[in-house]
Structure 1
Amino acid sequence: MNDSLSATLTHRVNVKPIDRTFEVQQDDTILAAALKSGCQLPYSCQNGICGTCRAKVLDGVVDHAESSMAILSNEDRQQGYALLCQAKALTALTIACEVVEATQDIPIRRLVSRVDRLERLAEDVMRIRLRLPAKESFRFLPGQYINVVMPGGIRRSLSLANVPDDNVLELHLRNYGGPFSQHVFNVMKENDLVRLEGPLGTFFVREDSNKPMVFVASGTGFAPIKAMIERELEKASSREITLYWGGRRASDLYLSSVAEAWTKSHNVTFIPVLSEAHPDDLWEGRVGFVHRAVMEDYEDLSQHQVYACGAPVVVQSARQDFVALRKLPEEEFFADMFVSGQKTPQ
């Protein structure tokens, strides 16, 4: 391939307002090229579903590819917005996007770990503790996730549920009946070798703010939020913390005792919510959709930060309604979402 043809396959992307630049090949998404270059842009699912990587194209033309209409409407596209994990550059670009400095110096590593312990937290939820080699360091921010690769290439993305601690990683997995879940629940045993890659994602507490924090979790979306809150308590943060944790049945709130304990000794409010409470649950708490519970309690979220994690319908509904109906600044909504594909339900 001659130099002139090679040049046509590469476009330069300039990130405002900090004037960071990187090159993107035609076959790469803008996000993939940014991460390869060491430019940490916001992202989570990498499937065009969560909306974390949504950014405005100030100049240039992109191919939106498979971007979800639910996340990126025609109106959004007309206004210049794109999902960077899906969009490809057709020309040189200038985009307006936050660069996530907090993860700049945290390397993405590929390691082999051992299963240290398996513990059923509920009939369909397993806690997996992985132990890393003694001489290996693994830095991450509470809220980030890893890719776990099993024998045969079975892969899942799982959020880290603990703060960095002595080379032990904690994961929470719900059994949805797929090959990965079946392996963990029926085959995996202690001391098995497990390959992992990470840390990944930009879901973590923004420490440059003193705003009160509202955490919204559904099901095992509690995993990264547990790590984030534990980190805030570990460093004796003075920020107000309110946790809404939603599930269908009481058993879905599989570590509610941990959240209850936080309220007794820290500045934490815990509000569990069930959408399909059964008489056997003897439930006397809040009922309905978890993001609706937040809206019942807050008329104005303009001075808050929201961190949400769980099923797509929960995260998308929270983002849309909190911004449109409760005055939450869009840039103060941070989310991780469990979707099919690379970032799958946990």
Structure 2
Amino acid sequence: MTSATAPAGPFNITVQPSGRSFTAETGEAILQAAIRQGVGMPYGCKDGACGSCKCKKLEGTVVHGPHQTKALSPEEEAAGYILTCCGVPQTDVLLESRQVTDESAFPIRKMPSRVLALEKKSPDVMLVRLQLPANDTMRYHAGQYVEFILRDGARRSYSMANAPHMLLKDEAGVAPAAGVELHIRHMPGGKFTDHVFTAMKEKEILRVEGPFGSFFLREDSAKPIVLLASGTGFAPIKAVIEHMQFKGITRPATLYWGGRRPSDLYLDDWVRQQLALMPNLQYVPVISNALPEDNWTGRTGFVHKAVMDDLPDMSGYQVYACGAPIVVDSARSEFSAQCKLPPDEFYADAFTTEADKHVG
């Protein structure tokens, strides 16, 4: 929809039960308007592919741009649900989204970054450390992500794998040498990840923008936590664990980390070190395609099924899930339908690739 054909805005968008409100300009998607005005609505891919931004429309008219039916089915749309990432208001709109809180979002900024270090953690996972400008400190919630802006304007999203307190400057105003940590999986043929694994060098300059995303720990709850990760979906979960340790959060938490082979659990040693420091943290690694030479004796199968086996009743839990869309989507639907998890206690960040975004 173009501004030439759209009804004239601005339109008022109100989100219940928080009462947060903001305005959307003519032809502007609801999510873009929320981000622009610092209202923290849930979202993931921003491309109509993952469904993380889905919420109930109580009043008003919204027209959708292109999106995938797995993100919003015709039945859901008929029932009044919308995707805010591609939903353009035609009138004032009243929405329901229990994930919207009064906590203001951190400002989104573009900045240059310098590659500090590259460390291969497995055959297809690179740990990349970025140095941000010395006069700048990016403020973000543990679990959020940044986007690389490539030379042709394309973007690639990666979660920050360390907690924000690890980037704070000391009393002398010096930023720590660790920098922002990212975990990048090689997607063969991928324009950006091919470069990371074959040509990227230390001191290379990259443009980033952030922080983005609504995946972060809700600290106003005392419920026990399930941390569900597949592959490099562990990156934002790692940041959340570091944040919990730093803040002294002692809610019981269990990390379920799934991979095809044991090497996919590329920071298994790090997790086991945290167990000694955090008595309320438990760890369940799950492997789906172990080979005989792996000598794997732990849990096997799909990682979200392991959670369901251990916790048939999740009515009193919060779940934070991150990783491949099929894992996140399966967990979201099955935890709610079969294990009594309240839908508004499932927080997710699906790692949607460029290929995922173009699947019908």
Q: TM-score range by the shorter chain?
A: over 0.9
Give the Cα–Cα distance (whole angstroms) in 2 for the partners of residues 19 and 270 of structure 1. Answer: 38
Q: Distance in 2 between matches of 1:26 and 1:143?
A: 32
d(CA) in 1 for partners of 2:93 and 2:338? 33
- Aligned runs of 1:1-346 on 2, under 5 Å? 8-98=8-98, 99-102=100-103, 104-164=104-164, 165-166=166-167, 167=175, 168-177=179-188, 178-266=190-278, 267-341=280-354
Q: Secondary structure at the match of 2:85?
A: coil
Q: Which stretch of the first structure deviates more once superposed, 156-165 or 308-317?
A: 156-165
| Alpha-carbon separation, structure 2, partners of 1:38 and 1:230 | 25
Equivalent-residue separation in structure 1 for 2:131 and 2:41 (angstroms) = 29
Residues 208, 261 of structure 1: alpha-carbon distance in 2 compared, 3 angstrom cutoff? same
TM-score scaled by length of structure 1: 0.92
CA distance in 1 between partners of 2:118 and 2:102 (Å): 35
Letter in 2 for 1:30: I
Amino acid at match of 2:94: T
Code of the aligned partner of 2:49: I
TM superposition shift of 1:35: 1.8
Does structure 2 conserve the Cα–Cα contact (< 8 Å) formed by 1:100 and 1:202? no
Question: Offset of 1:275 from its aligned partner?
Answer: 0.8
What letter corresponds to residue 224 of structure 1 in structure 2? P
SS in 1 for 2:249: coil
Change (3 A) 1:39 1:194: same
Aligned counterparts of 2:210 and 2:25: Cα–Cα separation in 1: 24
CA distance in 1, matches of 2:239, 2:158: 13
Percent of aligned positions with the same letter in both sequences? 46
Partner Cα separation in structure 2 for residue 88 and residue 152 of structure 1: 27
Q: Secondary structure at the match of 1:8?
A: coil
Question: Structure 1 residues 313, 217: closer, same or farther in 2, change over 3 A?
Answer: same
C-alpha distance in structure 1 between counterparts of 2:318 and 2:18, whole Å: 23
8 A contact 1:161–1:169 mirrored in 2:
yes
Give per-residue Cα distances to partners, 1:119-151, cap 9 Å, x unaligned.
000111100000112221111111000001244
Q: Determine helix, strand or coil for the equivalent of 2:181.
A: strand
What is the CA–CA distance in structure 1 between the aligned matches of 2:304 and 2:187, rounded to whole Å?
A: 23
**Shift in Å, 1:14:** 2.4
